[in-house]
């Protein structure tokens, strides 16, 4: 007996939202994809802290979209490291 699997239609609002992290001057196509904002911020923190050890600073932007193809240039959040080494997240 063949196995049949029902196909479920998903509305746009039920689609997964991904977080795309652009560090420095990365192009939109080079943005790193994450399933949570927490994971994206943690990756930025790791990179920014590593560069801070060498006296370098770097900003990043965070974009939300259902797919990489739908990431737009204008970010949803801008990330930076403050003087205390904590990540500052500013919504745009």
Span 21-52, pLDDT tens digits? 999 999 999 999 999 999 999 999 999 999 99
The answer to the question of residue 1 being in a domain is no
Counting the structural domains of the chain, the total is 1
The answer to the question of residue 68 being in a domain is yes
Q: What is the pTM of this model?
A: 0.80
Range of the domain at 80: 15-91
Q: What does the mean pLDDT of the chain come to?
A: 87
The answer to the question of residue 3 being in a domain is no
The answer to the question of residue 9 being in a domain is no
Whether 63 contacts 31, CB under 8 Å:
yes
CA dist 25 and 58 (Å) reads 9
Q: How far is CA 81 from the centre of its chain?
A: 16
Buried b (16+ CB within 10 A) or exposed e, 4-39: eeeeeeeeeeeeeebbbbbbeeeeeeebbebeebee
Whether 74 contacts 91, CB under 8 Å:
no
The answer to the question of residue 28 being in a domain is yes
């Amino acid at each position: 007996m063949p196995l049949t699997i029902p196909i479920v239609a998903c509305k746009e609002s039920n689609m997964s939202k991904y977080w795309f992290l652009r560090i420095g001057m990365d192009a939109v196509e080079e943005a790193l994809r994450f399933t949570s904002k927490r994971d994206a911020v943690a990756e930025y923190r790791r990179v920014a802290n590593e560069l801070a050890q060498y006296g370098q600073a770097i900003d990043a932007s965070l974009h939300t979209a259902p797919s990489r193809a739908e990431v737009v240039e204008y970010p949803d959040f801008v990330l930076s490291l403050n003087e205390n080494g904590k990540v500052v997240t500013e919504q745009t």
